[in-house]
Amino acid sequence: MKISTKGRYALRVMIDLALHDTGEFIALRDISDRQGITVKYLEQIVTTLNKAGYLRSMRGNNGGHRLAKKPEEYRVGDILRIMEGNLSPVECLIGNEVNCPKAEECATLSFWKGLDKVVNDYVDQYTLADLVDQTKAISAYDYSI
Amino acid sequence: MKISTKGRYALRVMIDLALHDTGEFIALRDISDRQGITVKYLEQIVTTLNKAGYLRSMRGNNGGHRLAKKPEEYRVGDILRIMEGNLSPVECLIGNEVNCPKAEECATLSFWKGLDKVVNDYVDQYTLADLVDQTKAISAYDYSI
DNA sequence: TTTAATTACTAGTAATTTAGTATGAATTAT
DNA sequence: ATAATTCATACTAAATTACTAGTAATTAAA
């Protein structure tokens, strides 16, 4: 019942980009220094975020990444679902799809559906802006964390 | 973000034992036939349930297992937590323990705490009796599933 | 036009976890 | 005694996770 490092790190990357947003592109090297995640691993994470349209990226010297939208326009749930594939607690239930031949007879399915719903509803309550505000409140002037 | 087969199967075993409760011990062979889970794998599952005090077990000929309590006395969350270890979405947060040196500075921790809470609150809303009733409602007279 | 810095892409790998299987001992009713 | 069962321990194969490696493409600046 765990969120993987990809999902957790992706949130930290997005928060980092929001906190250090100057309109310029931010290199993975900078994020790596602040977050303690290797550039190589960050590449994988931002590639996924980029393909989802969540980032603007630029190659070459002075290249890097920046948010494609304002922090309040990202739902935390969307970021997590992109990174994790889905947040479903059971394989037989992905999104609103039910993938099980015995679904009609399955007594626990509705229980799992309910769990799936509370999880997704929770993560969709929050936007990136909420996490950014929380970071500012906690760390005051040190946005490295 | 998945519940493992141990957790899922344990619920099915408990439901099965509840549905077929006659006061007698029920052999794993019977549960295996009905649920399509090998006796050997069931052994692992019931051992955990037994050690948690959720089952009464008896060795030897005519031996087997039965529920230690009434179905309404088992919280589904307790069964899942016993089988999964915990239901926490992140390693740094197990139960009410926070295991991270940066916890004080961590902006996402309260977000994960909230997720942990909605998950545990949900699974603790239900008892085994709820799942049993659901099974009866769906399958009418065929309790094999 | 070269150079340095960066992302983009594809593949590989080591560690961990999951989902079982295997073997044999202990126990119990018949 | 025998057959049926749980109990205990160890083993294993497959999948997943969490990275690492190498190289190509792109861009700004010297």
- pLDDT band (50, 70, 90) for residue A141: low
Residue pairs spanning A and B at CB distance below 8 A: 105
- Report the range of poorest mean pLDDT among A100-114, A121-135, B43-57, B107-121: A100-114
How much is the pLDDT for B144?
54
Residue B140: which residues within 8 A CB-CB, separation 6 or more? none
Tokens of residue B3, six digits: 């519940």
**H or E, element range at B55:** strand B55-58
Break chain A into its structural domains and give their ranges: 5-85+127-139
User: Is the CB of B99 inside 8 Å of chain A's CB atoms?
Assistant: no
* Phi/psi of residue B34, nearest 5 degrees: -75, -40
Optimal mutation site among B1, B98, B105, interface A, most CBs of chain A within 10 A: B1
Which nucleotide, over all strands, has the C1' atom closest to the CA of B41?
C20
B63-113 confidence digits (pLDDT tens): 999 999 999 999 999 999 999 999 999 988 887 788 777 777 788 999 999
- pLDDT band (50, 70, 90) for residue B145: very low
Give yes or no for a contact between B23 and B66, defined as CB atoms under 8 angstroms apart. yes
Spatial distance between the Cα atoms of A105 and B8, rounded to a whole number of angstroms: 15
B20-68 confidence digits (pLDDT tens): 999 999 999 999 999 999 999 999 999 999 999 999 999 999 999 999 9
How much is the pLDDT for B143?
53
Spatial distance between the Cα atoms of A12 and A128, rounded to a whole number of angstroms: 10
This prediction has a pTM of 0.94
Percentage of chain A exceeding pLDDT 70? 96
Per-residue burial over B108-138, b if 16 or more Cβ lie within 10 Å, else e, is: bbebbeebbebbbebbeebbbbbbbebbeee
Give yes or no for a contact between B75 and B121, defined as CB atoms under 8 angstroms apart. no
- Report the range of poorest mean pLDDT among A84-88, A105-109, B81-85, B127-131: A105-109
B62, burial (CB in 10 Å: exposed 0-12, middle 13-18, buried 19+): exposed
Give yes or no for a contact between A5 and B92, defined as CB atoms under 8 angstroms apart. no
* Phi/psi of residue B132, nearest 5 degrees: -65, -45
The gap between A41 CA and C13 C1' (Å) is 14
At the top level of CATH, the class of A5-85+127-139 is: mainly alpha
Residues of chain A (76-135) having a beta carbon less than 7 angstroms from strand C: none
- pLDDT band (50, 70, 90) for residue A124: very high
Tokens of residue A43, six digits: 């590449």
Nearest residue to D17, CA vs C1'? A4
Percentage of chain A exceeding pLDDT 90? 83
Spatial distance between the Cα atoms of B39 and B64, rounded to a whole number of angstroms: 12
B95, burial (CB in 10 Å: exposed 0-12, middle 13-18, buried 19+): exposed
Spatial distance between the Cα atoms of A112 and A100, rounded to a whole number of angstroms: 13
Taking each helix axis from N to C terminus, what angle separates A39-51 and A28-35, rounded to the nearest 10 degrees? Answer: 120
Cα-Cα-Cα-Cα dihedral sign, residues B63, B69, B72, B73: negative
Does domain B5-86+127-139 match CATH 1.10.10.10? yes
A68-78 confidence digits (pLDDT tens): 999 999 999 99
- pLDDT band (50, 70, 90) for residue A90: very high
How much is the pLDDT for A145?
46
pLDDT at A120 over 80: yes
How much is the pLDDT for A64?
98
Give yes or no for a contact between B84 and B141, defined as CB atoms under 8 angstroms apart. no
